[in-house]
Amino acid sequence: MLARSICTYLVGHNYFVDHFDNGQDVVDIIETQQHDFYILDINTPLVGGLECLKVISQKYPHIPKIIISAYHDIEYISNAFTFGCSDYLKKPFNLKELEIRVDRLCSGIPVQKVLNEPVILLSEHYIFNKESNLLFYKGEMQQFTKREYALLRLFISNLGQIMTDETIRSFIWNDEDVESSTIRSLVNRVRHKLKEDMIHTIRGFGYIMKRIDSA
């Protein structure tokens, strides 16, 4: 039903649309036919959406591709971007939002500048999307593990406040008996993956994350 709704909507807005109801047909068709844009569901019969995405990305790496899914797991989202996804849309969504994303990806204008999404500007280049819990740098999703993203969410939810080892232990490990060295290692991994200096150590107290002044 969703696929039919998408097709009807896009055709009504002057797009030419091909619809395939299983992943095997998609894998077969791309061998002989190139499309200008691909919209893929993660959960598709015969061949899954992520596998389709990998095949399409190998053959047509520069063609925009959107993954849609009801999955909230960061693992799925992260894998989608690793396999060449251009954007991710979580069900349920408004068809107008899909159209905006298609238009902007095709025109090269960052989607983030068009959509009125709940975001936190951390610097001139860093944006955190509170809906998807994802961090973007210059419009590109940044790769972190589940635990690293959990730490980022903790810091971003408490910008300008000191996060002690006890707070981090409680939030990340549910008060399990975790050594301070393990916490320090996690903080350092996140800090080293960030391209800007936003996480600082307050000796004797804990850690603090601050916006860059240009934000």
Q: What is the pLDDT of residue 10?
A: 84
Is it the case that residue 161 has pLDDT exceeding 50?
yes
Q: What is the pLDDT of residue 72?
A: 64
What's the token pair of residue 189? Answer: 């991994």
Question: Could you tell me the pLDDT band of residue 116, with boundaries at 50, 70 and 90?
Answer: very low
Residue 187, phi then psi, degrees to nearest 5: -60, -45
The whole-angstrom separation of Cα 191 and Cα 77 is 22
For the segment 189-202, the average pLDDT, to the nearest whole number, is 94
Q: In which order are the strands placed within the sheet that holds 126-129?
A: 119-121, 126-129, 134-137, 140-141
Asked if 88 and 65 touch (Cβ cutoff 8 Å), the reply is no
Give the chain's mean pLDDT: 84
Q: What is the pLDDT of residue 91?
A: 82
Cβ-proximal residues to 10 (8 Å cutoff; 6+ apart), any chain: 17, 99, 102
DSSP labels for 18-40? ---SSHHHHHHHTTT---S-EEE
Q: What is the pLDDT of residue 108?
A: 59
- Over residues 15-48, the pLDDT tens digits come to 888 889 899 999 998 888 888 889 998 888 899 8
More confident residue, 115 or 79: 79
The whole-angstrom separation of Cα 214 and Cα 208 is 18
The whole-angstrom separation of Cα 213 and Cα 110 is 23
Q: What single-letter amino acid sits at 35?
A: H
Q: For the whole prediction, is pTM greater than 0.85?
A: no
> Domains in the chain, ordered, with CATH?
2-116 (3.40.50.2300), 118-215 (1.10.10.10)
Is it the case that residue 113 has pLDDT exceeding 80?
no
* Cβ density class 56-95: b for 16+ within 10 Å, e for less: bbeebeebbbbbbbebeebebbbbbbebbbbbbbeeeeee
